[in-house]
Structure 1
Amino acid sequence: MSLSVLVTGASGFVGRALVGRLSSDARRLQVRAASRRGEVYDALVQGFRAPDLGANADWHAALRGVQAVFHCAARVHVMNEQSADPLAEFRRVNVEGTLQLARQAVEAGVRRFIFVSSIKVNGEQTLPGKAFCADDESQACDPYGISKREAEEGLLALAAETGLEVVIVRPPLIYGPGVKANFLRMLSWLNKEVPLPFGAIDNRRSLVALDNLVDLLVLCLSHPAAPGQRFLVSDGEDLSTTELLRRLGLALGRPARLLPVPQGLIKVAALLAGRADLGQRICGSLQVNIDKTRNLLDWAPPVSVDQALAKTAVHYMENPRP
Structure 2
Amino acid sequence: MNVLITGANGFVGKNLTQRLYALRDYRDRTQPTLQIEEIFLCTRETAPDVFAEYCRKADFVVHLAGVNRPKEEREFTAGNVDFTRTLLELLQQSKNNCPVLLASSVQAGLTGRYEGSPYGQSKKAAEDLLLSYGKKTGADVLIYRLPNLFGKWCRPNYNSVAATFCHNISRDLPISISDPEVKLELVYIDDLVEEILNAMEGHPHREENGYCSVPGSDCRTLGQIVELLYRFHDQPQTLLLPDISEGSFEKKLYSTYLSYLPSDKVAFPLKMNRDERGSFTELLKTASCGQVSVNITKPGVTKGQHWHNSKWEFFIVVSGHGLIQERKIGYDQVIEFEVSGENIQAVHMLPGYTHNIINLSKTEDLVTVMWANEVFDPNHPDTYFEEV
Q: TM-score, normalised by structure 1?
A: 0.65
Tell me which structure has the larger Cα radius of gyration.
2
Higher relative contact order (Cα pairs below 8 Å, separated by 6+ residues): 1
Contact 1:156 1:166 in 2 (8 A): yes
Q: Tell me which residue corresponds to 1:247.
A: 228
SS of 1:102's equivalent?
helix
Amino acid at match of 1:211: D
Q: Which runs of 5+ in 1 are unaligned?
A: 38-48, 127-138, 256-301
State the distance in 2 between where 1:148 and 1:33 align.
Answer: 23
SS of 2:62's equivalent?
strand
Q: Tell me which residue corresponds to 1:68.
A: 60
Q: Tell me which residue corresponds to 1:236.
A: 217
Contact 1:7 1:34 in 2 (8 A): yes
State the distance in 2 between where 1:8 and 1:216 align.
Answer: 17
CA displacement at 1:224 relative to structure 2: 5.2
Q: Tell me which residue corresponds to 1:312.
A: 256
Q: Tell me which residue corresponds to 2:152.
A: 177
SS of 1:74's equivalent?
coil
1:214 to 193, 197, 201: 193
Q: Tell me which residue corresponds to 1:162.
A: 137
CA offset digits 1:53-85 (Å, max 9, x no partner): xxxx8732222321110011111223xx2x3xx
Distance 1:236 1:94, change over 3 A: closer
Amino acid at match of 2:138: G
State the distance in 1 between where 2:186 and 2:196 align.
Answer: 16
Distance 1:226 1:172, change over 3 A: closer
Q: Tell me which residue corresponds to 2:104.
A: 117
RMSD, aligned α-carbons: 3.1
Identity of aligned residues (%): 23
CA displacement at 1:234 relative to structure 2: 6.4
Amino acid at match of 1:210: I
Task: Return the structure number with greater helix share.
Answer: 1
Aligned counterparts, 1:25-44, within 5 A: 25-26=23-24, 28-36=35-43
Q: Which moved more, 1:230-239 or 1:155-164?
A: 230-239
Q: Tell me which residue corresponds to 1:130.
A: none
Q: TM-score, normalised by structure 2?
A: 0.55
Contact 1:199 1:242 in 2 (8 A): no
Q: Tell me which residue corresponds to 1:147.
A: 122
Contact 2:77 2:122 in 1 (8 A): yes
Q: Tell me which residue corresponds to 2:51.
A: 59
Contact 1:206 1:235 in 2 (8 A): no
Contact 2:145 2:211 in 1 (8 A): yes
Contact 1:69 1:113 in 2 (8 A): yes
SS of 2:2's equivalent?
strand
Contact 2:150 2:163 in 1 (8 A): no
Q: Which runs of 5+ in 2 are unaligned?
A: 27-34, 237-245, 265-388
Q: Which moved more, 1:100-109 or 1:305-314?
A: 100-109
State the distance in 2 between where 1:318 and 1:193 align.
Answer: 11
CA displacement at 1:158 relative to structure 2: 0.9
